[in-house]
Each structure stands twice: as structure tokens, then as C-alpha cells.
Chains A and B, each alone.
Chain A
Amino acid sequence: MEQHVMNSIEQSLNNNQPLSSQTLASLRSLIINPTTSDSSLSSLLDALTRSLRLTRDSVFLHHCLKLLTDLSARRPHLSPFAVDLLRSDSLFSSASPRLVGESLSALLSLTSSQNDIDAARFVSLCLGPSVPVRLWLLKNAEKFAIRESVLLAVFLGFTRDPFPYVRKAAVDGLVKLCKNGDFNDRDVIEGCYCRAVELLRDAEDNVRSAAVRAVYDWGKLLVISSEERNKQDSSDAVFIQLCCMVRDMSMEVRLEAFEALGKIGLVSEDILLQTLFKKVLGINKDKIYKPIKVFEISASAAAGAFVHGLEDEFSEVRMSACYSLHTFTVFSSQFAGEALNLLMDMLNDDSKIVRLQALNTMHHMATCNHLKVEEIHMHSFLSTLFDSCSVIRSATRKILKLAKLMKLELFKLCIDGLLGNLETYPQDEVDVFSVLFHIGRNHGKFTVLMIEEVSTELEPAFGGKLGFDSTRVAAFLVLAISAPLSNESDVCGVPSRIFSYAVTWLGRISYALSDVMNRETLLAYLSKCSRSSTISLADFKIKEALPTVKGDMPSHLCSEVGSPVSMPLWQKGVETFDHHHQKLFLGKSGTHLEYGLRECDELRQSVNLVFRKVKDLWSLVQLGCTNEALKAIRACKEEVASFTTDSPGSAGAVAFTLQYLRVIKLLAAVWEHLMPTKKLNCYGVGKLELLLGKLDRRLREIRNKFIGLSKAEELQILELIVVACLLRLSKIEICCYDTAMKKLSSIISHVEILRKGGPIEPSHFIIEVKKLLNDIGSSSGGSTCKPLLFKKLIDSFSLHQFVLGGSPRHINAELEVPGNDSENPLPFIPGIPASIPLAITLYNVLSEHRLWLRISMGEESTQFVFLDLNLIRSSDEVREFTFVAPFYLTPKAISFALRVSIGIECLQENVHQVKAFGGPKRELAYLCPEEEIFLCKSTKW
């Protein structure tokens, strides 16, 4: 059979006749048949090649194409030949556009990698009369390796096409191009932005919604490329432009508009406020923005954008509007206040998801300390506590936990609401009790007043019989017992017998409060309080023992985090637990362990929330709005600083987050110098160098001072270090090329090791860096500086959200010289070594760590003393000991001061430093702030 077919092919080819369709059909059967030998298949390919030269008939070409695709799909090893044939001119230059399109898609499906259809052919195909081919090419343009400039021209040109779908594909192409490409030419950016704005008035819904995306994306570039002083204005202008679309007749366009609005990070407050009012505010009356010279837009166009969004007929749009609001509530408290008025009304919405989103946005506002609930809101707000949907109820309670109420009436309304909730939905008891406890702690005074009012209800009924059978009483008891733990200073007045009543409810209460304290603690606490007739000093001690609440922090900031309202650890109180002890203790019973874990989880959640915020902030940095970003990071730091750190493992997580924030802050500060608008002057160089030095130090600390990080976490930190290296490399002015390169390659090899050890994928960015390193290494021995290459790489970096999975342990130390200050100095004799007794507490230091004491006197002399951990017998977690450090070079002076600190040797740093006097071989990361020690010449002699 095979032979027969081949012969007939041979025959017809020899006669210069094209293959008949019958022969082609039999060829197909040959190809499909798995037993056909390879040799006949390759001769078949030859035959096809030859016959392609003979005919231009489109039916034949079509068959041929089909055969080739089949062949390469079934015989992968022959596929390159088939692809070559496909690429040959015979198919592409066909008169039938359909065939061209099909051969292109066949080509795409066969070759996975780069498709080198050349630009000229691409453009000429696009410009051809066939609309389907044009559409297909535009949609798949990114699969061909075509220069950006060509693509840009093609896409921009086809936004003028008379066919709406081609226009849409072209606009989509522009959006993709904008995301992936690297455009610095202001003219191009303005041109694309203008075209996108023009298309907002297109007659087709699809084109309009694509244009909204384009306006957002090119608008972003427009903002980036604006001069520093115009940034805010251009960003506002883009925002207003998008606001114009929220009243479009098409739902898709409106949805798209709100999604885009929510993503714009930087908008001035006036404009934001305008979106909440349909009337044009006085301040915005004649405000005209000119993002581009020839283009203007009036601020009044933003009027009521969010009002319309929240009133929209479609729940999707309403939800999107609610969601977008939450981005802006962070920036302005005034905006948040006005937005709250609107959001409260959304709680009456008929769609559940909209109500939930409104509550989530409010929760977000509460975490930003921008939630100011007023009396007129209370009815609709509290009515959500009666909602038939349990998710909505719990979302409301989550907000209540954080709420800071200014008036007693509001407080009472809330408590009533919660009690009503409890009555209607008894299944919510656990959560309601927990909320009551938190709310009581946040409003100590109100709680006391409230308890006084209802105290009769709490008393046992006549006849001395305890009638505590109502849940309502239990709820009040929970509220009452929270009062002494309040952070409001002068709270006392809850009668002590109430606490003993509460003991009878111990099971239910402790179950509800398991996120705050365990049953034993609760019992101890209750009995302690009930023993003393008034709130005595002892109770005060308990209060102090609550490590959570720092005096200057508003309490809702503390509890904001969701959970970590402190739990009294009794550390310095009646009973003593240390971390270690507690852990053992927790290990005993399942429930307790559970409780510990739960608390940890909640903390982790809130920490991860912060990480997410940081990731969102990064876009601000990329936009060049560094000041705003720094401000926000600072706010994050404050927030994290207020997290409680008393549960096991939480201290490490908090410390880690703080350190991470410090790193990001510096990174943002350095990033600013990369912006194209920023000219680097001499002063700038110095500053940048300082910043980079600081960044390196911080990174060293985050890398070395934490143990117990997962590989993925470590990888993310390494990525940041890589970025820091690249930043250095991209600035020739300050870069020590060799050192930086060495460091970079060592980090990358470390990444490799990590990757080999487990199933983690390095990010695209890291892969790119690796590629570049290989390129440099292979090209020229690596001595050439390529700042532009590095710059480009840096541009491709975007911050991923850091996800804290475990609980890292923080290596830190406390250092003290007991009783030493400038008035009580230590004695010394000039010229003779002085001994300095140091009380040292080390946390989480492992025995393989190498610790050094750094003792420095002024700027000139520094001395390192090795701390041999093997000499100290203690657990890894906490080592407390006294160490007498010698200081050799005592000066000939009456008195002097030393600065002492403890550093850990960075074992992972490969770059060795040569230090005299047997100091550390590698860089140190310091574990505690420098302690000043005063010495004075001994007079006893």
C-alpha cells in the first residue's frame, strides 16, 4: 500500500502534475497510520515540497496544510521539517487570506517557542483586506517575536479600523503592550492615551470597555512620565477621565470603570470627595486639568461617580464600587467619613454580596482607624446583626470588635444590638461573647456604667437561688469581667461578686474567650477579682501584666488586628511562666494547644494583611509617588508595632514584619532615584550611597536575625537582596562592580541551592537575573559594566506579596550593665584592662551561631570579643547570663564612655573581610541597640 501510493505520487510529480485530491487523501491515511515507516514519510514530505512548487490552487494548499499539521502532530521528530515547509512562502503568499490565517495558527500551535514571522510580513498581512486574518493577527500578536515599535504602530493604527472587533483587539493589544513594554517616549504615551480617551466615545460597548482599560494603563504611564510637580495633576486627570465612564449605558463598561478606579492609588482629596457628591463642590467648580498640552478635562466630571456606582442597577457594579472605595479610605479620613454615609446605606441592599462587601470595606476603614460611626448610622448598621445570613452577622461583629464609640448611647445601642443578636440567633453565642469582651475592654468606663444599670438583673433571684439561666445574664457577665482589663486608666467599680457569678459560667465563657485566654487563666483571673471586695492594687497588677496595650496607642488600633487582644500571662504577676514553660504547659492539653495555634493564626493573618498592603503600596513607588508610599509604610509600621507579642511565636513574627517594612521603606527611598525624571546630582550620589548602605545593613539583618523561615520566605528575601544588588549595579557612579557582581552571583547560587532542596519556583524576575548573569559571564569575562541592562531588569521587578506561613523566631539580645550610668561609672585604671560586667539575655540563639561583642570607644578604636556560647549552659530559647568583658585599651583619661553591642556573624555572607585583632571574619548583624557604658578613673588607689 505504502509503496503503491508513493509510486503514484512519484509518477504525477514526474509529469509535473499536481497531486490529485485522491492521492492527497491516501497520503493522509499514510500519515495517520502509525505503522507507516519514517523513510516513506520523509519522502512524502519531499513530494509535498515539490508539488507545492507546482501549484497555487487554494484547495490543494488547504489539503497540504492539513497534512502537514497532522504529520507534525503525530511524528514530533519530523515536525521541524513540516514547520519549515509551513514557513516557506508558498503558504503565506497565498491569495486566500483564510489559508494564510490557518497556516499561521498551525504554525503557532506547532512551535512552542519564538515564532519568527518577520515584521514586514506581519504588517503586510495585517494591512491586507481580510478582516478575520487581521483580527486573528492582532489578537495573537504577542506570540510572534515582533518589535514593540512595530506592534505599537499597528495597534495604534487599527484603533481607527471601521470594524469594532478589530478596534477592540487593537485596544487590547495596546493594553498588553503597555503592560509588558518599556516606553519612555512622552509623545508615544500621550498619543496612545489620547487615542484611548477618544475611544471612550466609541459607539460599541466592547470597544468602550477595552478603552477604559487602555485609559487606565496608559494613564499610569502618563503619570510616571510626568514631571514631579505634575504627577498629582495627571493622576487626578486620569481618575476623572475614568469617572466619566461610570454612567455609561453598558454594564460592562461601568464595571470596568470601577475596577480601574479602584486601582488608581494617587488621587487628591478634593477630587475624591467630589466623587461622593453629585453637586459640584465649590473647590472643584472651575478646576481644569490638562494632563496633556492639548487636552483638558474639568474636575466637575468626577461628580458623584461613587454615588452612581453604589446606586447602580447591577449588583456587580455596586460591589465593585464598594470595593473600589476601600482603596481610598486609607488616604483620607474625611473621604472615609463621607464614604461611610454611603456605605451604611448599602447595608440595606438587596444583594447579599454587596452587603458583605460594604461591611468588608468598613472593616478595612476600621483597621485604618478611619471608621467613625455616628448615631444616624446605628440603625442600619446594627440591623445587620439581625441579618438572616450568618456571614453578614459575623462581618458586622468583626467591625464591632474594633469600633471605638464616642458616646454612651452608641455603646448601649451596640450592646443592645449584640444582645438582640444573641436572642435571635443563639448559635452565635461564642462570637457574640467574644465581641462583648472586646468591646468592654475598649470602653471600660461605659462598661462600668452599663453594668451598674443592669446589676439588678445580674443578682440572684429571691430566696438565694441562683437563677443564672438566661444567656442575657451571661452576656452581661462577659461584659462585666472585661472592664478591669480595659486600658482606660481609672476603671473600677464592677462589684466583685459579679466575678464570682461569672465563675459559674466558666465553661461557656472560657469557650467563647478562647482566643483571649484559656480556662485556667480565666479562672485564676476571676477568682482573683472576686476575692478582693474592691478593685485593689493586686488587680492593678494584673492590668499591668497585660502587655498588650501601650498607653499612647488608641486601643482600637491594637485590637484592629483582629485578635491579639492580649492575654494576661502572669509573667511578672502571681505565677510565673516563661515562654518555655508556657509552651510545655500548652503542650499538655489539646484545647490549649489549639488555642495557641489559633492566636498565632490570627496574628499571622493580620501580619499577612500588612504584607498585602505593602504589596499594593509598591505600585505607588513604581508610579514615583515615593512620599505617599513612605507615609503609608510608616503607618503600617505603627500598626505592626501595636500588635501584641505575648503569645508564643508572635514576637518573632512581629519583629520580622517590622524588619521587612524597614527594608521596603529603604527600597522605596532608593527606588525614587531611579525615576527617569530624577536627575542624580552630587548631593544625590552621596545620599543614594548612604541609603544603599543602610539598605544592605537592613537586608543583612533580616537575613541573619531570623530563624525558622520557610524556603519560600527565604527566597523572597533573597529576591530583595538581588534587587538591592541590581540597584547598586545600575548606578555606575557608586557601584563597586566586582564586589557587587560577586555578591549577586553568590545570592543567585544560593537561590539555586534552595530551589534544588525543595519544590519552589523562583520568580520570573530571578530567572531573568540568572539569564543575564549567564550572558555576562559568557560574553566578555564579565568586566564590562552594563548599567542599562541592570536598569531594565530592575524595571521588571515588582514586589510580590510576602506570605508568612510559619512563625519565624527572632534572634535578639538584651544588654545591660546593672547600675551603670553617667553618675555611677565603673572604675578603671588607665593603661590596664578594665572589666565590664554585662548582663546579657539572648533569645533564640543557637549554639552554632557566632556572637561577638563589639566594644568601641569613640570613632577610633573598636574591639571585638567573642562570646563562646558553649560556656553558657542554658536552653536555646532564652539564655540569661552575666559576662565580664575585658576592655584592653583604656585611655589615659579621667573618664570615658564605651559603646557596646552584640552582633551575630553573618554566616551566609561569602565576602570575607579582613579584620585585625582576631575579630569576626564576616559582617555582623547587630542584635541590640548600642549600650553606653561609663567608666571613670578609680580613686581608691
Chain B
Amino acid sequence: MAIDSLVLGAGQEVGKSCVVVSINGKRIMFDCGMHMGYTDSRRYPDFSLISNTGDFDNALTCVVVTHFHLDHIGALPYFTEVCGYKGPIYMTYPTKALAPLMLEDYRKNMDRRGEDEQFTSDHITECMKKVIPVDLKQTVQVDKDLQIRAYYAGHVIGAAMFYAKVGDAAMVYTGDYNMTPDRHLGAAQIDRLQLDLVITESTYATTIRDSRYGREREFLKAVHTCIAAGGKVLIPTFALGRAQELCILLEDYWERMNLKVPIYFSAGLTIQANMYYKMLINWTSQKIKETYATRNAFDFKNVRNFDRSLINAPGPCVLFATPGMIVGGFSLEVFMQWAPSEMNLVTLPGYCVAGTIGHKLMSGKPTKIDLDKDTQIDVRCQIHQLSFSPHTDAKGIMDLVKFLSPKHAILVHGEKPKMATLKERIQSELGIPCYCPANNETVTVPSTHYVKADASETFIRSCLNPNFKFSTYSSVDKSYLDSKYSKAASGLQVSDERVAEGILVVEKGKKAKVIHQDELLLMLGDKKHEVQFAYCFPMHTERLQKTRTEELPSADTLLCDLDKCTLINQLSMKLSNELSDANILDLGEQLQVESFRVSICSKNSCPHRLSHSVHNDSESVFLCCHWSLRDEKLAWKIISIMKSSSPHTT
């Protein structure tokens, strides 16, 4: 069994996330994003790799979308409406609610730029009708075999990591996530799962970011200083996510500092988005959920709607205006008015696309900006750059992978050289095989397959009763300590033997069964066999013989019983001297130490006698030894003692 991951997008790049995973005959498409950097065919994932014939409904079991960012959802209307996929699509409730806003916004912008329309408004509506919303930690049975479950991912509202399980094979696709909370969203949260594969984003594969508090502090300080001096603050921002985060930050600060300066939201998307946020309280951070009992945190107290007439009103204010990066629209309009005054402040998002005014402002402070041939803006205002990012950093990725401890990991959504570094780290530090495939490559990893087995009653009963054993250094083999796996060994160890007592029996044509070890013989109808070791060796007894000849003239006869006993007796004394702690039993004709038995061999050709040692020495007597496996060491020790010191010293 294996899991195949076909990376259609975001392989060694950021953009158009799309991974098709086949597990046990099921095929799931995770995310269906578009690349914002291209306008040609590279904009969308190459769907033809899924199915040549275009019969996506049979090729895919379902589509799962993690969150509403365009690089994760942008290609969805195209895929469903243009390519004709009609199967189920899963996303969380907030994603379903907010995705149309995003797509529509994108479509309008495309329109404005005069590009070809990839999909229409109707397409979006139709596409959304196919979406099945899921809740967090809700296990959805997609079909008989496939289960999916969403976990909180932070990042943006409604972002989720998805767990998918077919049979015994299980995997997690993280989408984008954030391991540290921000002002309105919590940190990613997932259970400890048994996983074969984790596919994780790696936007910051090598970066370790500082605490966000520093950035917040800078931002608040800049805003506060500006309004304290009577200036106006323009915050051009995208409507969803960042606007709410910053607004909560400011609102909280206003509250604490008793500030009365107005905060405005420009009309448009932002108001609508706020409305959604108010409804999606469940998906925010602990703090906002807690305060919800008294007040909805998105019911901003100090926030008012902006009116065009207020642009030139006197006095300080803070304004959130769309679109971000000042590409046009209202934020540009306000910027043109406010930029010429030194008192005013413009905060820019961390990333601005080249060619936008935002980008120009960021790359060195210009004094004049040429808007077009006729218009020139005099820029004297202060510029503050925000560098908030809702992605986790390298440490966060490592922490998550460590926590989940999957058997394999795949990195997507990152830059190639950085991903290679992270891949090395995951492999060396965590010992997890890791891959970072390029686009349109397939990675195959083995998956878990469990065999269902019945259990016998005795086994179940034995499982109910604890059966732990303790061991200490002395009983642990030294070689074991030195070995690579010695980590777990320590002074005092405890183990529970219950499982070891079970025996898996697989009979032909029958279901596998686990039985208790005592039952095995019964079941097989067989007797118990035990491995016995035997060794027969000569012992020189010259001195012994000599003394004896005087008494017994016919010395060549076999040693009589009495002599045997004397010899054994002498051996016994010898051994008890050497092995002080062993329990030596002298049974007359034979000697027993644990399972080791030695007696004088009376046979001429003992089968246990090694051939080369057979040299018919009349002056030797043969000792025949038997022992079972567990006393092997002891046995050889005794034999060497007996060999080294023939009892003639007596």
C-alpha cells in the first residue's frame, strides 16, 4: 500500500497550491489555487495530469479547500465550471462564506485590468453551491472509506488543516497555518494523530521570526505619535483579515489609553467583512471568544463609517481604506489628499507588488510620485511599514512536525533553496524522511496497513490484568546499553508484558487471530518442544585413577557407582567454590545447576561427543552435559570451570 502525492502547484514555489493525494484508491485534491504572478496557462494547476479524458468526477473522490486565499481557492470556479468537476467540495463555514467575496473581488480587478475573464459571477455562485461546509473537528464521512476532519490552523479566519483517513492510512494537509496567535486568531491546534504523511507549507522555511509584539509596539507608537501631533493616519489594507486584526489592536489601545480620536472604515468590502467576522466568533482566538459574552470584539466601539466629506475635515483620525498597496480606488484617493502633509502617516503592508504605489513608497522614500502623465503627488507624509505575517516560521514548522511525528513529510508552498534546508533539518533532527517535490512531480510513500484480527478470550482476559515487570541495570544486557537504542534504558525500567504474551495466528482461509501463549499448543494440538543443548567432553582423571588402582586391582572396569558419586561430589564442591551464588544440587549421579545437568557418560559413543575429542583414553572420564537455552551462558561457564580444573587437585 502506498500514498501517492501529485503536486500540481506550490511545489518549490509560493502560489497555486494544489496537491492530489491518492490513498488506498481514493483521490483527494487539497486546495485549488491560482498563481497571481502569471496570466498565461501557468496561472492554473495542470488539471490534465489528473485525468486525460477530463472525467474529473471519476478521477477525484473530493476536493478539500483549506482557506479563502486566492492561491488556495482561485482556480476552483474554473475547475468546477469550466473543467466540469461536479464532485463534492469541502471547506469550513467561514471559508465558504468569505470565498465568494474574494473571488468576486479578484474577478472585478481582472475586469478592470482588461484581462480575459476566466470565470463569471455566475460561475462563482454555481461553484459555491457545490460546496459542503464542515465544522472544526467534525469527522466527515466522504464515502464508505474516506474520512476527513478539519483542525484549526490560525492564518486567516476559517483556515483549517485537513486530516484524511482511508482504511488505515492517514495523512494531514496543513494548508497555511500559524503556530502563534495574533490579535484575533488563535494558534493552530491539532491532536496527536497516527500519521503516515504530513504535507506542510514552508513559506518561512529558514526564517525564525521575532515576537509579533515588537511589530505591534512599533505600529502603535507610530500611530499614537502621529495622532497626538494632530496628524491623520491612513491604513490601506485588504478587506479581510489584516484590517480586523489591526482594528482590534487599535480598538484595544484606544480603550486602554482613553483615546477619543475617531477610527474610520471606508465603505465597501470592509463593512461587509466585519459583518461576517461578527458571526464567525467561534473561529477566533480565546480572548475574543471570552469577551463575546459581554461584547462582540468586532463591534468596534470607536469605529465609524467614513464619508468622503471627512477627508479634509480638521483634526486627527485613523482611516482603514481598501484596496491595500494603494493600487487605486479609495485608498489612492485619500492618499493623494493626505500625502503632502508631514503630519500624516501612511502604514503599508509587509508586501507590495511591484508597480503599485505601495511598492514605490517602500523602496526608498520618494518625495514625488508620478501617478500618470498629468498628476504628480507630493509625498511628505511619514511612512510606516507593517511586517505582520500570518504564516508560521521555521521553528513553528519544526514544532508541528515534531508534535505530529508522521512517518513521512512533504514540503510545499515555499522557495526551493530554503525548503531544501528545512528538509535536511527535518531529516536529521527529527529522523523523518522528507521530500520537497517540484510541480507536477509525484511522491510515493508507503502507508500503514493494519490486519484485523480476532482475539481469544484468554488473551483478552490477560490483557485486562496488568502484568508489569521491573528490570534494572544488572539484568539488562550490557551490549544492549551500548547499542543505538539505549535511550530508553535506565536504572529502573518497567514494562508491561501483556501484549508480548499474545501470539498472532494466521491460518489459511481464516481470519487472523490473537491468542494467549498458553493456548497455542492446545490450538495446534501439538506438544511442547524445548531446545536442549548437550555436550560431552573428556576429563582427565589420572590422579584419581592412581589412588584408585591401589585399592581396586581391576582398574579397567567401568567406574563403579560409588566412584561416580565421588567424582560428582568433588565437582560439586569445586563448582560451589567458583559459583558462590548458584544453587547447586548434588543428585548423587548427576549434578544440577538451574537447568544444567552433568553426569558421567557411560556410553562408548555418545552422540554429543565431538568427533575430534574421541581418543579412546582410558584415563579420561567423559562428562555429559545437558541444558536448555535460557541457561546457555551459565552452562558454558560451568563447563569451562570443569575443564580448567580437573578434580585431581583433591
Contacts and interface: CB of A to CB of B under 8 A. Distances in A.
A301 to B, nearest CB: 10
B495 interface: yes
Nearest to B491: A187
B209 to A, nearest CB: 8
A387 B487 contact: no
A793 interface: no
Nearest to A204: B192
Contacts of B576: none
Nearest to A383: B257
B213 A186 contact: no
A884 interface: no
Interface string A752-773: 0000000000000000000000
Contacts of A159: 494
Interface string A149-193: 000010011111110000000000000000000000011111110
A294 B489 contact: yes
Contact of B494 (A157, A311, A346): A157
Contacts of B495: 160
Interface stretch (A312-320, A330-338, A618-626): A312-320
A424 interface: yes
B490 A191 contact: yes
B130 to A, nearest CB: 33
Interface stretch (B266-274, B332-340, B463-471, B634-642): B463-471
B470 A156 contact: yes
B217 A292 contact: no
B208 interface: yes
Contact of A386 (B258, B393, B486, B493): B258
A191 B494 contact: yes
Interface string A377-419: 0011001001111000000000000000000000000000000
Contacts of B399: 247
Interface string B383-403: 000000000010100010001
A596 interface: no
B213 A295 contact: no
A312 B180 CA distance: 7
A445 to B, nearest CB: 28
A161 B498 CA distance: 10
A383 B259 CA distance: 12
Interface stretch (B119-127, B183-191, B547-555, B593-601): B183-191
Nearest to A306: B211
A190 B490 contact: yes
A24 interface: no
A3 to B, nearest CB: 49
Contacts of A198: 488
A279 B208 contact: yes
B214 A345 contact: yes
A212 interface: no
Nearest to B185: A313
A833 B370 CA distance: 109
A278 B490 contact: no
Nearest to A425: B258
A295 B486 CA distance: 8
Interface stretch (B248-256, B563-571, B624-632): B248-256
Contacts of B472: 187
Interface in B177-219: 179-181, 183, 186-187, 189-192, 208-214, 216-217
Contacts of A312: 181, 187
B137 interface: no
A552 interface: no
B395 A303 contact: yes
B492 A190 contact: yes
Band of interface residues on A: 35 or more
A311 B256 contact: no
A314 B289 CA distance: 11
B287 A350 contact: yes
A158 to B, nearest CB: 7
A379 B489 contact: no
A203 interface: yes
B287 A188 contact: no
A153 B470 contact: yes
Contacts of A186: 491
Contacts of A158: 466, 468
A383 B481 CA distance: 59
A715 B123 CA distance: 85
Given A247-B399, A295-B487, A310 B211 contact: yes
A222 B211 CA distance: 34
A134 B489 CA distance: 27
B466 A188 contact: no
A294 B217 contact: no
A350 B464 contact: no
A58 interface: no
B545 interface: no
A162 B212 CA distance: 41
Contacts of B486: 294
With a 10 A CB-CB cut-off, give which of B192, B208, B212 has the most chain A CB atoms. Answer: B192
Contacts of B86: none
Contacts of A187: 472-473, 491-492
A195 interface: yes
A248 B189 CA distance: 9
A161 B495 CA distance: 10
A32 interface: no
A292 B486 CA distance: 12
B258 A388 contact: yes
Given A129-B461, A249-B190, A388-B258, A195 B213 contact: no
B220 A348 contact: yes
B496 A160 contact: yes
Interface in A353-383: 379-380, 383
Nearest to B179: A247
Interface in B372-427: 393, 395, 399, 403
A127 interface: yes
B57 to A, nearest CB: 37
Contacts of B147: none
Nearest to B462: A129
Contact of A127 (B186, B465, B488, B493): B465
With a 10 A CB-CB cut-off, give which of B191, B212, B224, B466 has the most chain A CB atoms. Answer: B466
Contact of B192 (A134, A203, A278): A203
Given A311-B212, A387-B256, A348 B217 contact: yes
A295 B494 contact: no
Interface string B477-504: 0000100001111111111100000000
Given A157-B468, A350-B183, A249 B255 contact: no
Contacts of A248: 403
Contacts of B22: none
Interface string A121-139: 0000011110000100000
B220 A160 contact: no
A268 interface: no
A198 B464 CA distance: 23
A907 B489 CA distance: 61
A703 interface: no
A187 B493 CA distance: 9
Nearest to A344: B217
B256 A195 contact: no
29 contacts: A126-B466, A129-B465, A153-B470, A156-B470, A157-B494, A158-B466, A161-B496, A162-B463, A186-B491, A191-B491, A191-B494, A192-B492, A194-B492, A247-B179, A248-B403, A249-B190, A278-B209, A294-B489, A295-B487, A307-B211, A311-B180, A311-B213, A314-B286, A342-B213, A345-B216, A345-B217, A380-B220, A388-B256, A388-B258
Given A190-B491, A380-B221, 20 more contacts: A129-B461, A156-B470, A156-B494, A157-B466, A160-B466, A187-B491, A194-B488, A198-B488, A203-B192, A247-B399, A249-B189, A249-B403, A295-B487, A310-B213, A311-B212, A312-B181, A312-B187, A313-B285, A313-B286, A379-B217
Enumerate the 10 nearest inter-chain pairs by beta-carbon distance, A residue then B residue, closest first.
Answer: A191-B492, A345-B213, A187-B491, A313-B181, A157-B468, A129-B464, A160-B496, A190-B491, A194-B490, A313-B186
